[in-house]
Structure 1
């Protein structure tokens, strides 16, 4: 027999309160706030040291720094055979690896009340050390102390050179500033390479673009006595600046991302290589492709550096001192969140000279068929691009949300019906690419990917703009595949996934580019004999840059290019409108 005993209301309320308190106490850990101060700090150092206005630019490979009698680095000489020869412990002033790098902004706390710091710089046993320097700090006149290779390896080279660093921003926010500093010197020791002695690259120097045309009178003929030129302002973008001697010979770049580009042919300073069992010159002088950003300020310094050369056909290497150049950033630019670059190309057969207009402003007026415009800079955001005929009528238009830091080409071309269209293509001038590797580490074995950057690119992109070629496949000589990015290209449809065919910096053999009429299931297809074959020397901008100084003309030049098929394959098409492959270079 079950009895229902009534519970008094007071007891009911007490039970309810007890249950609620129990639930609240159980829920407290779930409501506990995360303590942000427990997040690990991965910075190499957390000490906030205010920088001075004085910088060390280390051209001579100095590693050790002593300031006011205090050792700031952890460098000690180690035998090259030591397995830990490259391992050093970070220090408060050099937290990365305890050694002086290529540039160092001296902290304020190292200067005494008189604004002077006594500093001594040491290198390895080969380069020796510098006497103690009294370095002065002057906030109103920022200075760079350039430390070139010492007198042990270069004749008459000073221990240091003081150069005032420009801090004033460019007059136009989408421009950058650049100058050259001439610290050329004669190597102290001669070498005896199979190809001959090191050539003499001393004397006045001149800054030039990739094709050898001069940048400015202000950066032309700068002597060792004058040392430094004025800054000049240029539109931001990707440039391959070259440094020329008084007679037009090219001075090699010294700071290369790839070791092969530091390998010189001593008598010509070009990139040396082995071909058919012999040491030869590749006829190309290394000069990096570099992205100069809006608001940045840069110095190109020419000074003696350590290079390598081939001592035998078995690729045994030895060292040589030669004058080379490096790019030094004087003022680091802010991230480009404002500007993009744009150019136009007229691939519309039968059109009179067309004009390109961007958001109502003229990009290029009366651009002939088969020609590309120069670049202009624009502010990111919604963008309307129009192509107009000679009478001002809009032939085609495209509207896109264009992003900062990008490089674009607007291609005007005809579709299958003959109607004019614009296809906008983003060009990758960064040199960034992903490299894969295999890791065999027990349970962590597998494939890894890392982002790497190249500064000497042979990048080719293919584009089909001919309405008479439903599918285009481009190959190298004799139908040799050029890669997936050149297969079955449809009119006006650019490849966007891995669009570039990237060659090697040692890609010195001549080659051809051929056009084929292909199909989705037929590759490469039938050779289009009516379309002229492109030869690799077409990628050389100005042969006279080499011929004028008695040098061999290279098989090609580095850069970022688009090869586009334009025109008609119709037998009735005028000769000027016949289909052909054209080359557009996107870096200067």
Structure 2
């Protein structure tokens, strides 16, 4: 009997194990793979760069790799995915060619077409081939319908691509490719008054300074070497030989400018008006380890056809940023600069981790220095290396910090640490629980934060001459939220960290001025300080020659700025009396 009972126990235990194992297998079946691209596709070292809105791909004259479905307006069939185009079944800006479509000689024939409501841009056929271990790009850059036929480069240009990152830590690599051509003066996609921008081109910083000799005066159909630049926030410009700015290869962001491009000046315009002399060029964070190409080619840009605000396309030579190597996440490096706002001082220095940022003139900012994340002691030094003030700062990866050396209300030297936001992200308060939809991204920002570094002004407010608050009004005021504390009743040395920025954008055509007021907590804006020279939007322009070459100045220049009242009424030197200064944080 005991034997039978033991057998029953063993049998029951075995059945339980089998049941549990079966349940375990069943649970695996409920797992889902939600990745858009589930298949692992090995890519070659070849890449197609599509600059003219082609969207369909055929290889070897027979195999269609895209969906060839025209949108019927429902938005459903347009997104039919294919094996090699798993996002929406269509060719985008860049395409890494799979190894599977190359033949035994590591080559294949490709034909690109456009299927949809685009302007008629025809078809283009070319062969791609791997010849060695070096990566190559095939730039499909123009439609012959919109350019004169005397360009020196082929319609599909094979250009080597660098797959090695920068040699120096904290740097990125960049180059320039000139695929410009002479735009036809008449026909679909052109207007008779289109500005002629065909030239040699130079890659420059926002102030017009060339970034390197090797990326300057690049001729038509040629490309430069890569150069290494410290990571940071840049607004690169592409300039002709006479310093005219090229527009960017996509239309200005409507949410930020409500604008199009004037063909005669290649600058932003509003509502069928003349161009306002400010060209759209995105402000972007270029991260350590990234590799980038800036390419110039004929592009379709919107311009106004009537006063009602209707757009039509117009071709013009414009530049675009192509990512050759995506940068890894920056988990180590931060930026810090020093600003001398100390009245009565000559050149001062800032010491951090044994490194000295030297000879910062009064009212000026030092270049940014790179540091690894961590806690640091900051020391402000006079010309004799005497310590004037100290403070501690915690730097995290990707931080951008300005250390303002100034004087507090008691006349003592202090260091005010400001963490700058150069990301382009702007938080919009609202009712979302997790804030996923409570932020917007700016490509063309005009953002400023404000400081009071005058020890004799206990409360300072920045406002327009009439006392109206500064910043964009109307709908933009709701979209780019700023708390009044960012520019009202600022105390000496105070750093506002909650919603510290003011969106100064608004209309491209609207001029503005900023005045300083002596205010009180219960009286805003207070009394205007007439002895202080106000600043205008045009005071934000670093190099006016970049604009007067076309005949006039814009109302302002986009970028990230700090605006501060510095100086002391007790200073003996007129240069150290109170005045408003502007520090620009992007290059």
TM-score bracket, shorter-length normalisation: 0.7 to 0.9
Cα shift at 1:455: 1.2
State whether structure 2 residue 150 is matched by structure 1 residue 153.
Answer: no
Bigger RCO (CA 8 Å, 6+ sep): 2
Which position in structure 1 is the counterpart of 2:227? 232
Deviation at 1:195, TM superposition (A): 9.5
Q: Secondary structure at the match of 1:320?
A: strand
**1:261–1:209 Cα change, 3 Å:** farther
Mapped to 2, the partners of 1:342 and 1:263 lie a distance apart of 37
CA distance in structure 2 between the aligned counterparts of 1:128 and 1:528, rounded to whole angstroms: 60
CA contact (8 A) 2:517 2:525 kept: yes
Q: 1:89 aligns with which of 64, 80, 83?
A: 80
Q: Helix, strand or coil for the counterpart of 2:58?
A: strand
For residues 74-99 of structure 1, the C-alpha deviation after alignment (integer angstroms, 9 at most, x for no partner) is 133346xx344983211221111111
Q: Does 1:186 align with 2:172?
A: no
Residue 243 of structure 1, CA deviation: 0.6
Q: Within 2, Cα distance between the matches of 1:188 and 1:113?
A: 42
Select which of 205, 208, 213 maps to 1:209: 205
Tell me the secondary structure at the aligned position of residue 279 of structure 1: coil
TM-score by length of structure 2 reads 0.87
Offset, 1:400: 1.9
Matched, 1:264 2:261: yes
C-alpha deviation, 1:564, in angstroms? 0.8
8 Å CA contact retained: 1:195, 1:279: no
Alignment of 1:95-106 (within 5 A): 95-106=86-97
Any residues of structure 2 matched to 1:540-555 within 5 Å, and which? 540-547=541-548, 549-555=549-555
The answer to whether the Cα contact below 8 Å between 1:194 and 1:311 also exists between their aligned partners in 2 is no
CA contact (8 A) 2:185 2:192 kept: no
Q: CA deviation at 1:34?
A: 12
Task: Note if contact 2:406-2:453 (Cα within 8 Å) is conserved in structure 1.
Answer: yes
Contact in 2 for aligned 1:239/1:290 (Cα 8 Å): yes
Please say if residues 250 and 301 of structure 2, whose CA atoms lie closer than 8 Å, have aligned partners that are also in contact: no
Residue 453 of structure 2 corresponds to: 465
The answer as to whether partners of 2:69 and 2:77 remain within 8 angstroms in 1 is no
Residue of structure 1 in register with 2:37 after alignment: 45
Count of matched residue positions in the alignment of Structure 1 and Structure 2: 550
State which of 323, 327, 343 in structure 2 corresponds to 1:329. 323
- Indicate the residue corresponding to 2:444 in structure 1: 456
Once residues 95 and 545 of structure 2 are traced to their aligned partners in structure 1, the CA distance between those partners, rounded to angstroms, is 41
| Paired position in structure 2 for 1:430 | 423
Show structure 2 runs of 5+ residues with no match. Answer: 1-8, 471-481
Superposition map of 1:15-54 within 5 A: 38-54=30-46
Choose which of 413, 417, 429 in structure 1 pairs with 2:406: 413
The one of 89, 92, 104 equivalent to 1:113 is 104
Q: Is the 8 A contact 2:448 2:561 kept in 1?
A: yes
Distance 1:387 1:344, change over 3 A: same
Aligned to 2:577: 578
The structure having more radius of gyration, on CA atoms, is 1
Contact 1:352 1:390 in 2 (8 A): yes
Deviations 1:185-242 (A, max 9, x none): 12235269999610111121111111111111111111114x1011111111011111
> Hey, what does 2:4 align to over in structure 1?
none
Residue 423 of structure 1 deviates from its aligned partner by: 1.2
Match of 2:270 among 263, 268, 273: 273
Q: Secondary structure at the match of 1:513?
A: strand
Partner of 1:250: 245
- SS of 1:218's partner is helix
**What's the offset of the Cα at 1:436?**
6.8
TM-score by length of 1: 0.87
Aligned mates of 1:279, 1:406 — CA distance in 2: 41
